[in-house]
């Protein structure tokens, strides 16, 4: 038996993932345990969870693998500053102490942290390093359902690579080509994230959601001045408009002048210009992704495509790839960003150490629905509720639970839903979710403002029974990880967007499912099959029997600025801090009206949380 632990850390979205005999056993992001969103620190809690879940100690492992090579990153940093000197001197002076103290000596730091994790009675296993884009490629190909596939990785930057193409075949992963820093699609998109007033590395989803409110009137200027896109999809950025290579900012005054003013300050009202900028960069991103995919199809002759890297979380571009049918099928790693690099690193090492071991692709894939995180057993959950004195109703069997909660949802209630193992990746997929009725015109705004405490323009995703998805969305294949945007089927004939300007369009969406329909009559679809999350599926089936609609609003169980909840204590705290009506923990139903006023969790509850 071979056991490999993969780690990602020290940039953003630290994570750990455990692979045993080639099978993905556990994976989790550190943020879920520390409650610090995008936590970049060493993933101690995530690693402990993976080991405890498998009944292992660190010394039982054959290797620990880090997802990139810090020395190559340091080389890139030095070469960039030397090439651009004396520009960027302030940034160089600011960053060098951090690199010299922490990142340059990362191997020693990792060994120290692993020794702490091992304790005084053990010895850490060998520490290995993968390359950043190889980790991404492995996370995309090895868990995919394909025997062979082209693989495309697009992100900000790894060591040097910003885009890379690979050929996966059986157990082998062959590099084809790559583009290097500073020419990066991920950093180009992040530059616009900064310019539109959102936080880099977390606000990209917001800009993607904002884009349909605008018109792409700046797309030609982006192509003419910022990025030279070749017919094959490769590109070069004009670095005179950017500061991220050597400066402390993403963009500069030349960039500002091109779009008619300075960046929007966070918290400022969003004007039409900002919406149009968002629409423009989304259009250019779509074009680059589509061209790269077509080139890869021509070069490899492959029928299937796997995607990873932060840009692979752009579900609008993914939806375009699917609709254009460049490949017969597309599979996207659900934890496509740096968190997934931990999983990819473990898979790289496992296959390198077991070259003769066969790989049999799993259907629908090897990710177990991304339900790879911790769960709370029924006994622990009962003890938590009893100790806290939280009034609740116990529903003894799954049909009773599904029917009761479906009736509450059909009556307009908003329900927090915590079941089984937590999701790995940025999407809640029916294990740590907030659920609602998609038919209600006021539900989108209510969820954003009263539950999630986030911007009112942001759309919500539908979870739909897989076999009935084509009745409600123009989608002819499964989308289990909420990573494909598809048109809503009952949109007005000939309409590509709701009438009006800007946020006015929100009030004029004309479909039968207004709570999950974006202003361009699209939705980020999650299909729910028969074999992955049965309790969630039974709930949707019960809702369908009541309403005729096999669709629920499914959004992540968290509020703005916080990670998705992990434990029952996390869930109860979030429930009481928002306007949710009911909380379901396993087979226990909590009614908000019956909870003690002003209740705060006791030290005992926090101990459950720490466990």
CA dist 496 and 154 (Å) reads 28
Region label for 276, one of left (φ > 0), alpha (ψ between -120 and 50) or beta (otherwise): alpha
H-type alpha helices, 389-467: 398-410, 443-446
Environment class of residue 425 by beta-carbon count within 10 Å: exposed (0-12), middle (13-18) or buried (19+)? buried
Of the candidates 583, 594, 588, 568, the residue with the CA atom closest to the CA atom of residue 408: 583
CA dist 81 and 92 (Å) reads 7
Of the candidates 430, 420, 416, the residue with the CA atom closest to the CA atom of residue 376: 420
Q: How far are the Cα atoms of 151, 359, 362, 365 from residue 139, in angstroms, in the given order? A: 10, 14, 14, 12
Q: How far are the Cα atoms of 291, 573, 581, 587 from residue 416, in angstroms, in the given order? A: 41, 11, 8, 12
In 403-488, the DSSP E strands lie at 415-418, 432-436, 461-465, 484-487
CA dist 326 and 297 (Å) reads 7
CA dist 532 and 529 (Å) reads 6
Length of the chain: 611
Q: Which of 12, 194, 392, 518 is catalytic?
A: 12
Known catalytic membership, residue 183: no
3-state secondary structure of 175: strand
Residue-wise DSSP of 6-32: EEE-SSSS-EEEEEETTEEEEEEETHH
> Residue 514 corresponds to which tokens in the numbers above?
């207004």
Q: How would you classify the pairing of strands 172-180 and 161-169?
A: antiparallel
Of the candidates 214, 215, 209, the residue with the CA atom closest to the CA atom of residue 485: 209
Q: How would you classify the pairing of strands 461-465 and 522-528?
A: parallel
> Residue 424 corresponds to which tokens in the numbers above?
């790995």
> Residue 421 corresponds to which tokens in the numbers above?
């193992």
CA dist 525 and 429 (Å) reads 11
Q: What phi and psi values does residue 338 have, to the nearest 5 degrees?
A: -65, -30
Contact (CB, 8 A) for 26 and 53: yes
Q: How many CA atoms lie within 13 A of 611 on its CB side?
A: 14
Q: Which residues are catalytic?
A: 12
């Amino acid at each position: 038996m071979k056991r490999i632990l993969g780690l990602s850390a020290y940039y953003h979205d630290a994570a750990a993932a455990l692979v045993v005999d080639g099978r993905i056993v556990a994976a989790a992001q550190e943020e879920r345990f520390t409650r610090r969103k995008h936590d970049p620190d060493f993933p101690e809690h995530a690693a402990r969870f993976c080991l405890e879940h498998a009944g292992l100690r660190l010394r039982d492992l054959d290797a620990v693998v880090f997802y990139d090579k810090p020395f190559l990153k340091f080389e890139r940093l030095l070469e960039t500053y030397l090439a651009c000197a004396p520009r960027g001197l302030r940034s160089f002076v600011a960053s060098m102490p951090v690199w010299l103290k922490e990142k340059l000596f990362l191997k020693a730091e990792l060994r120290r942290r692993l020794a702490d994790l091992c304790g005084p009675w053990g010895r850490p296993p060998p520490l290995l390093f993968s390359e950043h884009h190889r980790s991404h490629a492995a996370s995309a190909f090895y868990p995919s359902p394909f025997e062979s596939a082209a693989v495309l990785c697009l992100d900000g930057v790894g060591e040097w690579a910003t885009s890379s193409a690979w050929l996966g075949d059986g157990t082998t992963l062959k590099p084809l080509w790559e583009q290097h820093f500073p020419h990066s699609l991920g950093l180009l998109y992040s530059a616009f994230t900064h310019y539109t007033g959102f936080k880099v590395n977390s606000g990209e989803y917001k800009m993607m959601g904002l884009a349909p409110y605008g018109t792409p009137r700046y797309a030609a200027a982006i192509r003419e001045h910022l990025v030279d896109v070749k017919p094959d999809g490769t590109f070069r950025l004009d670095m005179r408009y950017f500061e991220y290579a050597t400066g402390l900012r993403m963009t500069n005054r030349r960039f500002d002048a091109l779009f008619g003013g300075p960046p929007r300050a966070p918290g400022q009202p969003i004007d039409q210009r900002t919406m149009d900028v968002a629409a423009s960069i989304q259009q250019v991103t779509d074009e680059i992704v589509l061209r790269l995919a077509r080139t890869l199809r021509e070069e490899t002759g492959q029928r299937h495509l796997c995607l990873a890297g932060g840009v692979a979380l752009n579900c609008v571009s993914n939806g375009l790839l699917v609709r254009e049918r460049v490949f017969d099928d597309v599979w996207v790693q659900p934890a496509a960003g740096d968190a997934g690099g931990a999983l990819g690193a473990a898979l790289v090492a496992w296959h390198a150490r077991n070259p003769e071991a066969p790989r049999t692709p799993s259907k629908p894939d090897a990710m177990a629905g991304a339900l790879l995180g911790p769960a709370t057993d029924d006994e622990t959950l009962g003890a938590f509720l009893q100790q806290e004195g939280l009034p609740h109703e116990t529903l003894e069997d799954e049909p009773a639970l599904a029917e009761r909660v479906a009736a509450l949802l059909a009556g307009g209630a908003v329900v927090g839903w915590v079941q089984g193992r937590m999701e790995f990746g940025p999407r809640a997929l029916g294990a740590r979710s907030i659920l609602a009725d998609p038919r209600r015109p006021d539900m989108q705004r209510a969820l954003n403002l009263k539950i999630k405490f986030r911007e009112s323009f942001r759309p919500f995703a539908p979870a739909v029974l897989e076999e009935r998805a084509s009745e409600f969305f123009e989608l002819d294949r499964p989308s289990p990880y909420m990573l494909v945007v598809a048109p809503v089927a009952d949109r007005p004939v000939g309409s590509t967007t709701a009438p009006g300007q800007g946020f006015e369009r929100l009030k004029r969406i004309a479909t039968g499912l207004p709570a999950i329909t974006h202003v361009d009559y699209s939705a980020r679809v999650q299909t729910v099959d028969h074999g992955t999350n049965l309790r969630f599926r039974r709930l949707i089936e019960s809702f369908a029997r009541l309403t005729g609609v096999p669709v629920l609003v499914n959004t992540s169980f968290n509020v703005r600025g916080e990670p998705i909840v992990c434990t029952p204590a996390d869930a109860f705290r979030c429930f009481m801090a928002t306007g949710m009506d009911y909380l379901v923990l396993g087979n226990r139903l909590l009614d908000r009206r019956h909870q003690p006023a002003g209740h705060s969790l006791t030290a005992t509850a926090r101990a459950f949380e720490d466990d």
